[in-house]
Amino acid sequence: MITLNISPEKHLTLTNHAKVYLGENKIGDINVVAPEKICGKSIRDLSLILYINTQDNCIKYPLDFGEFSYLKIPITTDITDTAGEKEMYIEISSDGEVLGKTNTVDLKVHPVLSLNKQVKPRSELENEIKELMDIISQNKDDFDSIKDAIEDKFIEIPEDTPTSEYSKLIEKINSDADLRKVIEKYDFDTLHIPEGTTRVGDYAFYKSTFSYVYIPDSVTNIYGTQAFGQSKLKSIDIPNNVKRIDGNSIFAYCQELVSVTIPDSVTFIQSGLCGYCKNLKTVVLPGNCDMGGGNFTQCPKLEFVTLGKDFNTSSMDLSSSTLYSEETIVSWLEALKDRTRMQVFTFTIGSENLAKLTDEQKAIATNKNWNLA
């Protein structure tokens, strides 16, 4: 782009100097900027003609400023037909009388288009753009399919994840042995409860054959009686958004259940939580949670139980198993809430488990106003 400025004294100056390149069709612009008055006369009362002297002829461009003092003249191949320097000036007239002309500047023309690419017809460019948009759309569909496939394997994809990072997520699927085991079973015994579900109701998965059930964060209450009762469930993690487990015996008689994790967000657990789960081995329970009775009745293989800090329930009975280590039992006593000057609660662990403790260890509970049974 080249800009010509005309001074009030008819002088013409070249600014924003740029090279002009040969090519097809329009390849640039000459901007002409004039003052409101030249030699005391309004530019609208004057006749101005831009002259460009090429090798073979002189090209004239009448300048009609109208209401404006700025014009844009396209540089086309009739100007750049040959390389070299072209003389350029503006003649100024009034009522047919030539008042004079501006000084002359050079227009430098070079024989190669700046990007060395031929200018294509508009229709051809539009077709190429359409093809490009179709390719982009197809790629987007492909990436959406890849995203769905990754999320189906329980790998979370944050919203701002660029598609260039998808390969790392795919590698995670291939490298995580435990996850592969889940994926291998996906079509047969895994259920992903849809996002948006808020409650799990009565007998929702009663006697189901699913080994793994994934509960979304949208669920806040599991209120159903035997919601998972007598199912093939093997393990379950309750999400952090769940506040209450109002259902009776929700995991009762799950003979293949091995592990249950309940987060600190849960403040109430109804009775019979895992009663008669003969293979239950690992349990994680929240701290300050009101719990009903019979939650671990007839769970003879229970061995690893973790109680949250300030555990505080009046009906805890873990006496159905004798597999707990001394260290595990002491960790329970240390987790108990200090109930000094409050009502005495009873913590039942059974005579065989009590026998594993010293009097000093038992005192950890009694000093907090708990009764051990």
Where in the chain are the domains?
2-110, 120-176, 185-372
Instruction: Please give the pLDDT value at position 339.
Output: 94
- Name the fold adopted by 185-372: 3.80.10
3 state SS of 170: helix
Residues 176-190: tens digit of each pLDDT? 444 444 444 444 577
DSSP state letter for 163: G
Instruction: Please give the pLDDT value at position 19.
Output: 42
Sole residue written with tokens 């039992």: 329
Chain centroid to Cα 258, Å, comes to 34
Residues 322-362: tens digit of each pLDDT? 999 999 999 999 999 999 999 999 999 999 999 999 999 99
Cβ proximity of 199 and 222 under 8 Å:
yes
Cβ proximity of 217 and 193 under 8 Å:
no
Instruction: Please give the pLDDT value at position 344.
Output: 95
| CATH of region 2-110 | 2.60.40.3350
Residues 50-79: tens digit of each pLDDT? 888 876 778 888 888 776 667 777 766 566
Q: In what order do the strands lie in the sheet with 370-372?
A: 315-317, 345-348, 370-372
Say if residue 119's pLDDT is above 80.
no
pTM: 0.51
Same fold, 2-110 and 185-372: no
Instruction: Please give the pLDDT value at position 108.
Output: 64
